Structures are given as structure tokens and as C-alpha cells.
Amino acid sequence: MDTTDVSVSHNGIYEFVFRENNANLPMCYDTDTVMIEFVEIPVISAGEDKDVCGNCTDLEGTSGGYNGTWLSNGSTYDPGYDDPNAHVCHPSYGDVTYTWLESNQATLTTLSCSSQDEVVITYWQVPTANILTDDADTTACGLLFDRLRAENPGSGITGYWYTENPSTEIYPNVFDIFPDSTIVPTYGYHDFYWIEETGPELQSGFCIDTAGPFTIHFIEIPIANAGIDTLLCGLTGHLDAIPSAGTGVWTTPSAENIAFEDINDPNTLISSSVYGTFIIDWTEDNTAECTDDDEVLVTFARIPNSEIDIIPPKCFGEPATIAAAEDSLQQYSWNFYTGAIDSTTTNIAGGEFENFVYWNSEDTLHRISLIATNSWGCQSPITIDTIYEPAIPTFDVTLISYTCMLNKGGIVFGDTLGSNSFFWLDTTFGPSAGTPITTVYNIPVGEYEIATSYLTPNTTHYAYYIATFGTQYCLDTLLYEIEPIGMIDAIIEVSAATDIGSLVAPEASVIFLNNSIYDNVGKRCEWHFGDETTEKNCDPQVEHIFTEGGCYEPYLIVMNRDLPECRDTAFLETCIPVDNASEIEVPNVFSPNGDGINDFFQVKAQTLKTFSGTIVNRWGRTVFEWENWENYEDGWDGKLQGGTDASPGVYYYVIKAIGMDDIEYDLHGPLHLIRK
């Protein structure tokens, strides 16, 4: 007997033919046929072993797609044994094995291929925690409580006491159902819990029940603290007792001079009718005759004055005189912010009561502030004031600018105050440095310094200025700039209202924006659109229509109408693309035979915005759809879905498209598929 092993790629019924030839005469042979069915062995899973809190759970089996069942093991199955994900309940706790059996029956014979898998589920008992301490027994004097009680959890269940404060101590240990003592670190309300757990090792809290919270109030014995001896600036202030426990109350033997806003407030407002030092008592009572008292000395002292006397600067950039109205104190806290101190005057107590301060900024308003402190250490309220620094006058000056860099400029002064003098300082252009001036002509573009002398505007303080500084006049340096005018800057851009990507001839309308800067001169504008057409127009917006396809490079020339040599030209960074009108050409035959000629059914088109094509057979069933008309090989290759060749014959196309010129195409007709 000849035998051989065979393997197949898929399960199913296969026919095998055996042929036997006569070795001496090959024409003489005989054949025999045998049918063999290859039956799939189910691939199944009963799920992963797991632990369950309680008696019920959902099985997590995976079927191989054939008839299967769970083997009976004393559990109940819902909806039935044949559901791999059945909900099961078991009457006892511990390890329970569940077996999933699945079979695949052959069609030619009685052969049945079966698989089975097991999963072990461990059921854990649900504990019931219970605290036995009387609900009325919830207070303790001090930090110790000795009456915590819990019900015995029974065999196999772990019970322990828990509280959120980690510093709480339970003796002899937290697992004792009747601990000897419980000591907390702080007074107040503390919550205690009795917790019972079951479950696998390394999985704390797997099956758990908690009794509580059982709240115990630990009452503190008061320790009175009236605070430290206190200095109050003024005739009112706040006391600063440190409350410990219970209710506190303020008293004093000097009740005729002292008043409390709230005698029970440890930080109450206290008032005195006179300055001086007084004894103040603080007493605390925490119920059950638990009391304590403490006393403190309180001194009421006078608050100093922080008013400021100011003489403003004589001229811009010169110092102001700033002095404290109360000039005999020991300490002055000045804040001149951006100001700089030129000099200071000190009193016999060492206090810097007067300052000469100047500023190096362009601002003429300057903030200052003062806090004064006396020998008691009492500070005044902060006083904030403003220094008004006189600005450099605005002189009557006319600047003659360059015109397109062709003519020189000048400076012409008018004396607006009647007491001004001007002196030229530049050593390169104009008159000699130091020359008194009112006009200077024929100077080029640039910055020029001019000295000026004028009378201080603060006429109220003339006598002080002369006595302190020796003069009532100001000296400043002015800086003037001669600038060019008539400097044309041509600027163009395409309006956002023009869709550059959708321009189609012969109605390709483009809106140009003229953003040129003319510098207040008469101008003339000349557009060149790149299609051999021009337009003279200085309007902010110009429209031009391109009638033929191409990529155009327009530009704008802007010139001074009176001085044509003053001009500028503006260009766009890129050319403007204009497409020709849209069109579609549809073939009616193609031959997808792989010879490289006419192998795809594809349209010939140009300038389309949208495109969709559909091929249907004679029964109206869609065999191909495409949207890319620009790539020849994205057309139909004569194949059906799945890659099989479509039969030769007549098909129909339906094409819908919209051109860039908004022309809509709705084309349909027959096409012939030929295979040679």
C-alpha cells in the first residue's frame, strides 16, 4: 500500500485522485478517487484565573465559533451553560474550576473535533464590620481614650482599627478588637474606623467592609497666653492673645481709661482715652471648671506727622527742595522713585528731614512719598505728593525740510516768551558755534543742537532761587532735525477679494491696491499690467481684466508731478497666473490589455475646479468611481472591485464637473471596453 501525508491551506472537503500506470505499457492505467474532509479544531479560551469578592461573577470565555458548553460544577449559569460569558453564582467560598468544552462536527463522517479549557475562580467571603462602643460614649478629657470596642470578625477575616491621623497610637496594636488605650496627638474631633478584609495576598482591600466613622471629642485643658507686651501707635489697636481652649475674656484694673470692642475676642480692638501703659488680663474657661489666666502690658504712643513741604525745580533737570513738615524726628523713609538725591540736610536727632532731588527723565510730573518714625518706633501714614517740574518751553520754530533731497533746509525762530536767547552749537554746518541766532538757512538733512536761555516759569519762588542757586534763569540745549520730504515710496498688492488661484480667461478680473506713500506731494501714477496694456490712475484701487491665459508681472510707476525725476517703481513678488477656459473631452472606447496604449479610461480636461466620474454596467450597477482627472492612471483600468477583469462590452459613464470659470458639466454616454 502506498501512503503519503497531505496538508491543505484551509479546512473543507477535498477530492484526491490516485492513478496507477503499467510500467511496461504506460497507456494502461487505472484511477481511484477518495474524498477527505479536513475538520477545524476549535480554538477556545476559558479566560484567565481570577479572584472574586462574593459568590457571583461573569465568566470570560472565548468561543471558537462552534457549539460549546460549560461542564456542570454546582454553580448556576445565566442565561445557560452554552454562553461562554455566562453570569455564574457558587454556593460556597474557595477555589472553583470551570471547564469550557467546544466541538466541531464533520459533514462526511461522524468525526467530531473537540477542545476544552479550564479556568479557576476563587470566591472570597464578604466581611461585615461592626463597632460595639456605645454611641453616647464619645468624649475624653485629655488625649487618651480607653473604650474602643469592635465585634470579632471571625475565622479567615482580618480586622483592624484605622484613623486618618498617622500619629495616633493604639495599644497593644491596631488588630486588637478591645485595645487598652488610644492616644491622639491633638485635641478636637477624631474619626475611628473598624475595617475588615479578605482576599488574596498582595491585594490589600480586595474584599472589604468598614464600620464608622466613630467620632470621639478630645477636650483640651486651656493654657492662657495673653501675648507679649505690646506697643500701640495711637489710642487704638488690636490685642494678640493666643487662644488654647474654651472661651476667653479680657479684663483690666484701669476700666475708666480702657475699652474693649469684644471682650471675648483674643484679637479684639482696644481703645484708650490717654497715652500711657496699662495692665490687661486674659482668662480662658474650657468647661468643667478648666480655667487659666495671663496678663500683658499695653503701651499707647503718639503717631508722628508725615506732611511734606515742596519747592519745585527752577528749571527742567534741576533739583527740587523737599522737606518734612515735622523736622525733629529720628527717622524719615523717603521714596523718590526715579529721582536722584543731590544733597541732604540732617537734624540734631540724625533724621534726614530735607533733600535736594533731581530727575533724568523726560517726564515733568514726579511722585514722591514719606513715612516718618518717632522714638517709640511709631510710623506715620504714608504721604504721597507730586513734584511739578517745569518743562522746556515750546518755542515758535519753523523747520524748512529738504525736498526730494534736492534743496537745503533751514531753522527759523520766533521769540514766544520775549525773554529767550538762542545760540548755534553745530561745528560743521551753519554759523560759528556760539553765535546768537534767530534764523539759519542752507543746512542739509541731520540733527542740530541749539542752546537757549529763558526765565523760570515758577515766579512764586524767584527769591528762593536767587538765594539758593544765584539766578532765576534756565539754560537748556534744544535738538532739531531737518528731514527730507517728497520721498515717494511705491507700494502695490493684490486685493484679498481676488482669488489668485481661480483666475480664468477671458474674464480674469484682478483688483490691485495702490498703497503708495506720496509724502504730501503732487503725484502721477502709471500702471503696466504685463499684457501690453497700461493705465494712468492713482486711485487706491484699480481693476484689470486679463483676456488670455499666462503668468503676468504687473508693476506701478509713481512720480512727483512737479519733479518727474523723483519717482519709485513697485513690483509684485510673484507673477499672476491666469488659466484658459475650462473644457472636457471624453473618449468612447479603451482597451485595457496592458500594451501601454489606451489602457485607461480617462478624460482630457483643463482648468477644472471639481470633478467626479462614475462607470456603470448595462444593469446600472457602479463598477468604478474616480475624482482625479489630472493623472491618466487614476482613470478606470478595466478592473472590477476585487481586481478581476471586467467583461468586454458596453458600459456607461456619468461625469459631473465645475470649471474654474464656473461652467458646470453634466456628461453621460456609452463607452466600449475592448480586449484583444
- Report DSSP letters for 456-509, one per residue: -S-GGGHHHHHHHHS-SEEEEEEEEEE-EE---B--EEE-TTS-GGG-BTTSEE
Give the integer Cα–Cα distance in Å for 224 and 193: 34
With b for 16 or more beta-carbon neighbours within 10 A and e for fewer, the 198-222 pattern comes to bbeeeeeeebbbebbebebebbbbb
Mean pLDDT, residues 564-587 taken together: 88
Mean pLDDT, range 648-666, rounded to an integer: 92
The span from the CA of 615 to the CA of 588, in Å, is 12
Query: 3-state class of 634 per DSSP?
Result: helix
Mean pLDDT of 199-207: 86
pLDDT tens digits along 301-346: 999 999 999 999 999 999 999 999 999 999 999 999 999 999 999 9
- Tracing cell 504714608 back to the chain, one arrives at 382
Q: How confident is the model at residue 406 (pLDDT cuts 50, 70, 90)?
A: low
Q: Give the pLDDT band of residue 410 (cuts 50, 70, 90).
A: confident
Report the C-alpha gap between 483 and 501 in whole angstroms: 43
Q: Is residue 263's pLDDT more than 80? A: yes
Q: Mean of the pLDDT values across residues 199-205?
A: 84
Predicted pLDDT of residue 403:
65
Helix (H, G, I), strand (E, B) or coil at 633: helix
Q: What is the pLDDT of residue 109?
A: 85
Asked if pLDDT for residue 478 goes beyond 60, the answer is yes
What sign does the dihedral 70-74-79-80 (CA atoms) show? Answer: positive
Section 578-605 average pLDDT: 91
Say what the pLDDT of residue 110 is.
Answer: 84
The predicted model gives 214-232 an average pLDDT of: 91
**Among candidates 221, 290, 285, which has minimal Cα distance to 251?**
285
Backbone angles phi, psi at 468, to 5 degrees: -90, -40
CATH topology of domain 308-388: Immunoglobulin-like (2.60.40)
Q: What is the CATH number of domain 492-578?
A: 2.60.40.10
Q: Residue range 637-647: average pLDDT?
A: 89
- Model confidence over 343-379: pLDDT tens digits? 999 999 999 999 999 999 889 999 999 999 998 999 9
pLDDT band at 213 (very low <50, low <70, confident <90, very high): very high
Span 464-476, average pLDDT = 89
What is the mean pLDDT of the segment spanning 527-554?
91
Beta strands in 415-466 (DSSP E): 421-424, 439-443, 446-455
Considering the domain delimited by 1-124, tell me its CATH architecture: Sandwich (2.60)
Cell numbers placing 517: 506713500
Indicate the DSSP class of residue 131: B
**What residues contact 58, with CB distance under 8 A and at least 6 apart?**
85, 86, 87, 88
Give 423: exposed, middle or buried? Use CB within 10 Å, 0-12, 13-18, 19+: middle
Q: Rounded CA gap, 667 and 334, in Å?
A: 90
Under the banding of pLDDT at 50, 70 and 90, the label for residue 408 is low
The position carrying cell 517740574 is: 389
pLDDT value at position 159?
92
501: phi then psi, degrees, rounded to nearest 5: -80, 0
Residue spans of the domains in the chain: they are 1-124, 139-219, 230-301, 308-388, 396-468, 492-578, 583-673
- Confidence class of residue 405 from pLDDT cuts 50, 70 and 90? low
Mean pLDDT of 47-76: 93
CB 13 within 8 A of CB 36: yes
Task: Kindly give, in sequence order, each residue whose CB lies less than 8 Å from that of residue 467, ignoring residues fewer than 6 positions away.
Answer: none
Fold equal for 230-301 and 308-388: yes
Read off the pTM: 0.39
- Does residue 642 have a pLDDT over 90? no
**The CATH fold of domain 230-301:** Immunoglobulin-like (2.60.40)
Percent of the chain at pLDDT exceeding 90: 61
CB 387 within 8 A of CB 312: yes
pLDDT of residue 140: 83
All three cell numbers of 354:
530735607
Task: Indicate the length of the chain as a whole number.
Answer: 676
* φ and ψ at residue 265, rounded to 5 degrees: -90, 120
Task: Name the CATH topology of 583-673.
Answer: Immunoglobulin-like (2.60.40)
Distances (CA, A) of 12 to 8, 15, 36, 65, 233: 9, 10, 8, 16, 105
Phi, psi for 310 (deg, rounded to 5)? -130, 135
pLDDT of residue 57: 95
Positive or negative torsion for Cα 83, 88, 91, 97: positive
**Distance between first and last Cα of the chain:** 51
The CA dihedral of 181, 184, 188, 191, to the nearest 10 degrees, is: -70
What's the whole-number mean pLDDT along residues 44-66?
A: 93
Q: Which amino acid is at 590?
A: F
Instruction: Please indicate whether residue 411 or residue 565 has the higher confidence score (pLDDT).
Output: 411
